[in-house]
Amino acid sequence: MSEEEKESCFACGITDDERVLLSCKHEGEDKWVCVRCLPPLIHGS
Ligand SMILES: [Zn+2]
């Protein structure tokens, strides 16, 4: 296993050690976003 491949929020970079991450799709790529960064994305800021 590689530490470099550990899931982290694409917006703030936090890992699932510190906050819940949700998988999502962005620009055709599978990404992870944390619950704190998700609301602004939903609201289209
Ligand atoms: Zn985040």
pLDDT, one tens digit per residue, over 7-18 is 999 999 999 999
Cβ contact 20:32 at 8 Å = no
36 CA → ligand 1 middle, Å: 6
20 CA → ligand 1 middle, Å: 9
- pLDDT, mean of residues 17-44: 92
pTM summary value? 0.74
- pLDDT, mean of residues 1-24: 87
13 CA → ligand 1 middle, Å: 6
Pairing of the two strands 29-34 and 21-26 = antiparallel
- What is the extent of the structural domain holding 35? 3-43
Q: What is the DSSP letter of 19?
A: S
Domain count of the chain? 1
